[in-house]
Structure 1
Amino acid sequence: MNGTRRAFLGTALGAAAATALGTPAQAAETGRCRRRIPPSGLGMHLYTMRTPLATDFKGTLARLADIGYATVGVSGRHGNSAAAIRTMLDETRLKAVLEHVGYDIVRGSGLPQALEDIHTLGARWIVVPSLPGAMHTPAGFREAAREFNRAGLAAREAGLGPLLFHNHGLDHQVVEGENLYDILLKETDPHLVGFELDVYWAAKGGADPRSLFVRHRRRFPALHVKDMAPNGDFADVGSGVLDFRSMFGTADSGGVRQWLVEHDSPADPFATALNSYRYLSRLRY
């Protein structure tokens, strides 16, 4: 990505996403960048592939493996059981690292089965993908923090990693003088609850992933790597305005172990998968 494209965000998208961008000086540092995403940490969040998965689940997994992906985040089973998905993953030499499970299930009687399914999939983390809109108040987020701590303890007792929360833009808003996302960061037990940071939605909501990684060390084991087009829409990773090189420079502090590609509305999911993989596999930071 060049400096001109990054500079666009300062005028077209404003401060909300500017925190996720670098400067021309940072872009000039390419020659000194040596780190890379480990191949075992480069995955695909399967929501991106929901259209082909609906008609050919195993074939879609096989094509992702052929591209080079090592891991997947499960989001929607398309009529398959956890055991059936595990068999298809094993046959295509992919590994599930997490599954998105609705908040109502996590806070209700369905949690034990959901945790068992995480084990069946061979994954490590159960992820709450969103909170109901009515909960976007300080009181609602404090209630969610209590529920996350409870469910995170159940996950730990089941031998899994911490429960994770996946953010959207509204989760970063300030309501009644309080930043909602900060409530979750402050009022959840770091041993029980972590975060799957969606970097697009963080930038859209005005948060700076780089700062989050540094200020809240080891809280972000997984990322949704999603790029932003100049008009604020979704883009294949590497074709938009987000400065992943700068962002990933502090990822170690955040404890990032999985970089999961996502695109909410790809015109061609396999083209998106290929373009995004090529960019991330070659990226040095």
Structure 2
Amino acid sequence: MKRREFIQRSALTVASLATMPALLQAKSKSDIGLQLYSLRDTIPNDPKGVLKKVAGFGYGKIETYAYSDGKIFGMAFKDFGNYVKDLGMKITSGHYPLALAKSDKWEMAVADAKSVGQKFMVVPYLNEPERRTIDDYKSICEALNKAGEVCNKNGIRFGYHNHNFEFETIDGQLPYDVMLAELDPKLVSMEMDIYWVYRAGKDALDYFKKYPGRFEQWHVKDMDKTNPDKNADVGTGSLDWKKIFAQAKQSGLKHFYIEQESYPAAPIDSIEASIKNLKNIL
């Protein structure tokens, strides 16, 4: 090969890598995860059996829920973590109620998360009486920042997960925007539930652009084409996942989890179908 031809081909290769879609970059950086709440009707009764099926579907990461006083689904949390590891998966995140994050048991929960190598701890929901005013949200943000300090000292990232109520205007302000202003990004990351953002009539991509790097985790759940109040198996609904994943880098994405709250079939079948579809999309 002549030197000039070699240089031309090398330049084309570099150019093609530079324009590689961000969604492919996201695929190389993160296995597909599952929020176990998707299987809430079955996993409490047979955690090991359900986890074995989840691993068999090809999930590499899981996000937990239902941790309480050092246990989860009747198992010591460390034992649960070891079983997940034996199946070839990692616990990368978990959901914890705000009341626990504000309590004197928070440090124990953080220690348990650290013991299994967990990277994120997330508050997933605010009860209605807690969030009636903008001042309520500001007070919650103060508590979240404090909980994030404890996590930060232990090498864990703290986070907050949205629904759609954060996008309902209170006194001319959107609570979600207030939270983004009040939460310290060094202490609290955002886990964006993409379905709920679109269900609220907002655009996730607008938030990625306005607050780059703030959305380190995602919930990937699709919207039914006929009834937007229902979930569809990922890849069969109305959300454009290729377009969304193309902005993964701008978002700051580190981990993402398939989650469903309603199902067109049995939950375990939807979880299997969703990962198959998402692998084709990515």
Matched residue type, 1:252: K
1:32-181 pair list within 5 angstroms: 35-36=23-24, 37-38=26-27, 40-76=30-66, 77-134=72-129, 135-161=131-157, 163-181=158-176
1:132-187 Cα deviation digits (max 9, x unpaired): 212142111101111111111111011212x1111111111111001100011011
Cα pair 1:127 1:165 within 8 Å, conserved? yes
Cα pair 2:208 2:250 within 8 Å, conserved? yes
Q: Point out where structure 1 has 5 or more consecutive residues left out of the alignment.
A: 1-31
SS at match of 2:91: strand
Cα pair 2:34 2:259 within 8 Å, conserved? yes
Q: CA deviation at 1:34?
A: 7.2
SS at match of 2:40: helix
| Structure 2 partner of 1:257 | 254
Matched residue type, 2:245: F
How far apart, CA to CA, are the structure 1 residues paired with 2:132 and 2:55?
Answer: 38
Out of 214, 218, 238, the residue aligned to residue 241 of structure 1 is 238
What CA RMSD, in Å, does the superposition of the two structures yield over aligned residues? 1.6
- Asked which structure has the greater CA Rg, the reply is 2
Cα pair 1:41 1:257 within 8 Å, conserved? no
Q: TM-score, normalised by structure 1?
A: 0.84
How far apart, CA to CA, are the structure 1 residues paired with 2:53 and 2:117?
Answer: 20
Q: CA deviation at 1:229?
A: 0.4
More off after superposition, 192-201 vs 210-219: 210-219
Q: TM-score, normalised by structure 2?
A: 0.85
Cα pair 2:22 2:246 within 8 Å, conserved? no
Higher RCO, 1 vs 2 (CA within 8 Å, ≥6 residues apart): 1
How far apart, CA to CA, are the structure 1 residues paired with 2:246 and 2:205?
Answer: 8
| Structure 1 partner of 2:181 | 186
How far apart, CA to CA, are the structure 2 residues paired with 1:33 and 1:184?
Answer: 31
SS at match of 2:62: strand
Q: Percent identity of the aligned residues?
A: 28
Cα pair 1:210 1:248 within 8 Å, conserved? no
Residues 148/34 of structure 1: CA separation in 2 closer, same or farther (3 Å cut): closer
Q: CA deviation at 1:120?
A: 2.4
Cα pair 1:98 1:125 within 8 Å, conserved? yes
2:214 is aligned with 1:219: yes
1:36-76 Cα deviation digits (max 9, x unpaired): 34264311000011223122211211211111110000012
**Corresponding residue pairs, total:** 252
How far apart, CA to CA, are the structure 1 residues paired with 2:168 and 2:80?
Answer: 36
Matched residue type, 1:153: E
Cα pair 1:136 1:171 within 8 Å, conserved? no
How far apart, CA to CA, are the structure 2 residues paired with 1:212 and 1:173?
Answer: 16
